[in-house]
Chain A
């Protein structure tokens, strides 16, 4: 049976349909999950997609973390359910405390949209388990607050525990240690700023995002 993947929709989310499309390309059965939902246990994985949840007002992700679905998401993650936050979804996961650190404004203080090359830094996350470390991927970024920041202690911990999942080949925004994505200690919760779904077809110029999504839905995992 195709894995069931939930794609969370807050008011202001805008990448949900794109993520559904890309997940379907890797054989998943994707469904939209409204932010008022309180149960996620029928799902095999959950994606928190990009956009501007609650308008990004106050701080990106700051208001979204109080949506009812976030309690359910925490429980889902606590029992090892795969959770991936993309872009705004990454910001939501850090605000909710599911991932450490924060995303701050890009170095140039401008919104940045375009292709970006990243290297897989660790294969121990649900998003990279089918991709060898060192693999270079062409994805896309699309954010204003995309520069990862955390305390020196947290950074040391992330490195020691092999939790930096993706690094930029050329740092576009001043992100600490070139970090483009990280995971929690168990590797089942991942946040990344680049959009895998924007690299999901030859027509868009790259299919590299599909290898990440295949990892997530368990296709090609040994």
Chain B
């Protein structure tokens, strides 16, 4: 019953549906929806679940490619990586929950992404966490930062999935809206691949895992689809949202993983689907819609943690660590046995039903009863919940001052009096974070956090033997994307490919997590559209399918949007992994060579850390990206390092790509990793030290002539910068710094920031 008149806000609006959306529901049903149905449409048609503002843009991304077994639209992208093994990968955001309760918010984010991976039949093998906070000199930021890192550690470590890398950005632009993204990679024997599709009318619909409580009721629509009212997420309106926070239980999830993988191995389930945002409503309607069938649910059979829950609460609860399984009745007893052993609850909550005749093609209906044989309390076409949300082509507009912003480049700034001081200020080591993460479980981690990319053996319990490796990276750069979302996002894709190459891997696919502001602001929609175009251009040119994505909008506080923050997750493959890659630390006596695109250096400084963090200038243009040249550089590096990890080579002593912080920071990081300085030169002043121009990789070698010949043959420039050795890093005319000072600056950055006066909410 839609609440009648008066001056009370109509129910559909309180639930976040517009008048037009309500009309659409009425059209679909041919009648007014009741309270329960309205709640179901509200959660499923929320921005978070329906992608209603972004779908028209996401459609422009390339999604096909060799090896793609499952593209976007399922729980995770899946790729055939050879040897009978497939890799499943997905990335997601948990921004709003983490802003309210950092520990549980981050932990439940990890739990959710892991369920997306084992839903496909894959054993979750690795996590990565791109994180964005305000500066740590604010007590609230320290509380958020320590809470989020602690939550990721507590959950990931206990659930038994190593966290092998991530990204860490501190920028005042995130003070009100921290971003917490998480990527998960899993692997499976190809034969175990399952899709989240219900089939077989008469099959049982089974809930596995934790009982259902009032956790996160309406969390999806309330938390994720409206900006925070207060400026700091702590205003009165936000207090009211607080009951929506969920508690994570990694122990339950660990048992769920083992039980579900065993059920899939034994062929006891037709499909499994995790319960995430929008809970049972989402899992039931999506599996039914994908399978083209209907479903009947009996809510009295849903195990509850709280007494007196209303039907709409049961249908939209976001209690964690739950899975929906579709089971043939003859397999029920065997399923119960497996679940009992893992101490996992299993309850039959419904049945799969035949699609019913309708105008056009048959329609699977989702019917809900409160008791067996009781009256139907909700009756809707399943696909209308899952796929029927309106798609908005929201107004877009570039910022009015775009031209003047681009004209004012940091190249005009006076050169620093002391480049060394600027370089030291940019140095920072995230080890404080990743030492809290188990990054070694499964004995796969050949290169862990802190490298250009993580490099893992392609191995795990239940997988066929393989000598291959997989590489993972996450890349983000809000400084670039704020200057130019299109070029910035293309640079991120290029950066991911270069990072993978530095551990010897050939990039085969990407996933993306698009963190943006309020889509009702035309400038934000322009940013999103531009970012997607930049991603599409780069992925097409580099031959990379986009196999999954997540969009997080409404990252705004007090009317101020975050800078556009697309995050790229890159997946690469090493054909033969026999030896550890050279890493970033050079050896004394090695010649330091810069591989680069042919032609003179690009000295553009727009969007660089130097310009933004050291000079406060966020305007200008980004360095140019020549995708063909980039492909040549990355292929050469992947080939050279690939030969090293295959057990041959001998040409590369150390390798590191140039990215945020520029060549200066790349060289400093190599010196710190090695504990060995260098005497280098020939740079065009501070501009070449700090420009973040793409497609450049530093290689240390004892055979420079051979390296130069290989580069020339590949159409890649190679410039000798100097020689490694000593305990001072010298770049003629620009930098001279003791190695010890460099190491102290890098290692001390985070502990020093946290060592101050504690944190506070």
Contacts A56-B158, A114-B435, A203-B580; is A142 near B440 (CB within 8 Å)? yes
Query: Nearest Cβ distance between residue A149 and chain B, in whole angstroms?
Result: 22
Question: In residues 433-471 of chain B, which contact A (Cβ within 8 Å)?
Answer: 434-443, 445-446, 457, 460-461
Interface size on A, residues (CB 8 A): 32
Is B343 located at the chain interface by the 8 A CB criterion? yes
A12, A22, A111, A112: the one contacting B443 at CB < 8 Å is A22
Is A21 located at the chain interface by the 8 A CB criterion? yes
**Chain A residues with Cβ under 8 A from B443's Cβ?**
18, 21-22, 197-198, 200-201, 204
**Chain A residues with Cβ under 8 A from B434's Cβ?**
113
Find out whether the CB atom of A204 lies under 8 angstroms from the CB atom of B254: no
Stretch of A47-55, A95-103, A158-166, A182-190 contacting B (4+ beta carbons < 8 Å)? A47-55
A12, A34, A113, A203: the one contacting B254 at CB < 8 Å is A12
Measured in the bound complex, the distance between the Cα atoms of B442 and A201 in whole Å is 12
Find out whether the CB atom of B438 lies under 8 angstroms from the CB atom of A12: no
Is A110 located at the chain interface by the 8 A CB criterion? yes
Q: Which A residue's beta carbon lies closest to that of B163? A: A113
Contacts A12-B255, A52-B254, A54-B251; is A203 near B442 (CB within 8 Å)? no
A11, A51, A140, A203: the one contacting B579 at CB < 8 Å is A203
**Chain A residues with Cβ under 8 A from B446's Cβ?**
203-204
B153, B158, B457: the one contacting A12 at CB < 8 Å is B158
**Chain B residues with Cβ under 8 A from A111's Cβ?**
153-154, 157, 436-438
Measured in the bound complex, the distance between the Cα atoms of B432 and A118 in whole Å is 22
Measured in the bound complex, the distance between the Cα atoms of B250 and A144 in whole Å is 15
Is B759 located at the chain interface by the 8 A CB criterion? no
Measured in the bound complex, the distance between the Cα atoms of B151 and A111 in whole Å is 11
Interface size on B, residues (CB 8 A): 34
**Chain B residues with Cβ under 8 A from A153's Cβ?**
none
Query: Nearest Cβ distance between residue A86 and chain B, in whole angstroms?
Result: 13
Is B577 located at the chain interface by the 8 A CB criterion? yes
User: Scoring B residues 124 to 166 as 1 if CB is less than 8 Å from chain A, else 0, what string do you get?
Assistant: 0000000000000000000000000010011001111000000
Question: In residues 195-214 of chain A, which contact B (Cβ within 8 Å)?
Answer: 195, 197-198, 200-205
Is B170 located at the chain interface by the 8 A CB criterion? no
Measured in the bound complex, the distance between the Cα atoms of B154 and A110 in whole Å is 10
Find out whether the CB atom of A52 lies under 8 angstroms from the CB atom of B251: yes
Is A66 located at the chain interface by the 8 A CB criterion? no
Contacts A17-B461, A202-B580, A203-B580; is A140 near B440 (CB within 8 Å)? yes
Contacts A12-B254, A52-B251; is A110 near B441 (CB within 8 Å)? no
**Chain A residues with Cβ under 8 A from B154's Cβ?**
111
Q: Which A residue's beta carbon lies closest to that of B577? A: A203
Is A15 located at the chain interface by the 8 A CB criterion? yes
Is A14 located at the chain interface by the 8 A CB criterion? yes
Query: Nearest Cβ distance between residue A2 and chain B, in whole angstroms?
Result: 19
Find out whether the CB atom of A14 lies under 8 angstroms from the CB atom of B254: yes
User: Scoring B residues 575 to 597 as 1 if CB is less than 8 Å from chain A, else 0, what string do you get?
Assistant: 00111100000000000000000
Query: Nearest Cβ distance between residue A199 and chain B, in whole angstroms?
Result: 10
- Choose among A14, A21, A54 the residue with the greatest number of B CB atoms under 10 Å from its CB: A14
Question: In residues 47-76 of chain A, which contact B (Cβ within 8 Å)?
Answer: 51-52, 54-57
Is B312 located at the chain interface by the 8 A CB criterion? no
Is B332 located at the chain interface by the 8 A CB criterion? no
Q: Which B residue's beta carbon lies closest to that of A50? A: B441
**Chain B residues with Cβ under 8 A from A142's Cβ?**
157, 438, 440-441
Find out whether the CB atom of A203 lies under 8 angstroms from the CB atom of B457: yes
Query: Nearest Cβ distance between residue A92 and chain B, in whole angstroms?
Result: 15
**Chain A residues with Cβ under 8 A from B159's Cβ?**
14
User: Scoring B residues 325 to 349 as 1 if CB is less than 8 Å from chain A, else 0, what string do you get?
Assistant: 0000000000000000111000000
**Chain B residues with Cβ under 8 A from A112's Cβ?**
435-436
Q: Which B residue's beta carbon lies closest to that of A142? A: B438
Measured in the bound complex, the distance between the Cα atoms of B448 and A113 in whole Å is 11
**Chain B residues with Cβ under 8 A from A51's Cβ?**
160
Find out whether the CB atom of A113 lies under 8 angstroms from the CB atom of B436: yes
Find out whether the CB atom of A18 lies under 8 angstroms from the CB atom of B251: no
Query: Nearest Cβ distance between residue B142 and chain A, in whole angstroms?
Result: 14
User: Scoring B residues 244 to 265 as 1 if CB is less than 8 Å from chain A, else 0, what string do you get?
Assistant: 0000011100110000000000
Contacts A111-B153, A202-B579; is A17 near B442 (CB within 8 Å)? yes
- Choose among B341, B343, B441 the residue with the greatest number of A CB atoms under 10 Å from its CB: B441
Measured in the bound complex, the distance between the Cα atoms of B160 and A17 in whole Å is 11
Q: Which A residue's beta carbon lies closest to that of B258? A: A11
User: Scoring B residues 418 to 444 as 1 if CB is less than 8 Å from chain A, else 0, what string do you get?
Assistant: 000000000000000011111111110
Q: Which B residue's beta carbon lies closest to that of A36? A: B341
Question: In residues 1-48 of chain A, which contact B (Cβ within 8 Å)?
Answer: 11-12, 14-15, 17-18, 21-22, 34
Question: In residues 135-160 of chain A, which contact B (Cβ within 8 Å)?
Answer: 140, 142, 144
Contacts A200-B443, A204-B443; is A113 near B579 (CB within 8 Å)? no
Query: Nearest Cβ distance between residue A11 and chain B, in whole angstroms?
Result: 5
**Chain B residues with Cβ under 8 A from A52's Cβ?**
157-158, 160, 250-251, 254
**Chain A residues with Cβ under 8 A from B440's Cβ?**
113, 140, 142, 195, 198, 204
Find out whether the CB atom of B255 lies under 8 angstroms from the CB atom of A11: yes
Find out whether the CB atom of B577 lies under 8 angstroms from the CB atom of A113: no
Query: Nearest Cβ distance between residue B595 and chain A, in whole angstroms?
Result: 26
**Chain A residues with Cβ under 8 A from B460's Cβ?**
17
User: Scoring B residues 682 to 711 as 1 if CB is less than 8 Å from chain A, else 0, what string do you get?
Assistant: 000000000000000000000000000000
**Chain B residues with Cβ under 8 A from A21's Cβ?**
443
**Chain A residues with Cβ under 8 A from B157's Cβ?**
52, 111, 113, 142, 144
Find out whether the CB atom of A204 lies under 8 angstroms from the CB atom of B438: no
**Chain A residues with Cβ under 8 A from B254's Cβ?**
11-12, 14, 52, 55
Measured in the bound complex, the distance between the Cα atoms of B436 and A200 in whole Å is 22
**Chain B residues with Cβ under 8 A from A198's Cβ?**
440, 443
Measured in the bound complex, the distance between the Cα atoms of B344 and A11 in whole Å is 11
Q: Which B residue's beta carbon lies closest to that of A205? A: B580
Q: Which B residue's beta carbon lies closest to that of A19? A: B443
Find out whether the CB atom of B437 lies under 8 angstroms from the CB atom of A113: yes
Q: Which B residue's beta carbon lies closest to that of A53? A: B251
Find out whether the CB atom of B343 lies under 8 angstroms from the CB atom of A11: yes
Measured in the bound complex, the distance between the Cα atoms of B436 and A199 in whole Å is 19
Measured in the bound complex, the distance between the Cα atoms of B249 and A54 in whole Å is 11
Measured in the bound complex, the distance between the Cα atoms of B154 and A198 in whole Å is 20
Query: Nearest Cβ distance between residue A214 and chain B, in whole angstroms?
Result: 17
Contacts A111-B157, A200-B443, A203-B457; is A11 near B436 (CB within 8 Å)? no
Measured in the bound complex, the distance between the Cα atoms of B437 and A11 in whole Å is 21
Query: Nearest Cβ distance between residue B251 and chain A, in whole angstroms?
Result: 3
Contacts A52-B254, A55-B250, A111-B157; is A14 near B436 (CB within 8 Å)? no
Measured in the bound complex, the distance between the Cα atoms of B446 and A111 in whole Å is 21
**Chain B residues with Cβ under 8 A from A11's Cβ?**
251, 254-255, 342-343
Query: Nearest Cβ distance between residue A94 and chain B, in whole angstroms?
Result: 19
Query: Nearest Cβ distance between residue B165 and chain A, in whole angstroms?
Result: 13
Contacts A11-B251, A12-B255, A111-B157; is A18 near B442 (CB within 8 Å)? yes
**Chain B residues with Cβ under 8 A from A18's Cβ?**
441-443
Question: In residues 217-241 of chain B, which contact A (Cβ within 8 Å)?
Answer: none
**Chain A residues with Cβ under 8 A from B153's Cβ?**
110-111
**Chain A residues with Cβ under 8 A from B255's Cβ?**
11-12
Query: Nearest Cβ distance between residue A144 and chain B, in whole angstroms?
Result: 8
21 contacts between A and B (CB under 8 A): A12-B255, A17-B442, A18-B441, A18-B443, A22-B443, A52-B160, A56-B158, A110-B150, A110-B153, A110-B436, A111-B436, A112-B435, A113-B157, A113-B435, A140-B440, A142-B441, A203-B580, A204-B443, A204-B445, A204-B446, A205-B580
Chain B positions near chain A (C-beta within 8 angstroms):
150, 153-154, 157-160, 249-251, 254-255, 341-343, 434-443, 445-446, 457, 460-461, 577-580
The 4 A-B pairs of least Cβ separation, nearest first, read A55-B251, A14-B160, A52-B158, A17-B461
Besides A22-B443, A113-B435, 19 other A-B contacts (C-beta < 8 A)? A14-B441, A15-B441, A17-B442, A18-B442, A51-B160, A52-B157, A52-B251, A55-B250, A110-B435, A111-B154, A112-B436, A113-B157, A113-B434, A113-B439, A114-B435, A142-B157, A202-B580, A203-B577, A204-B446
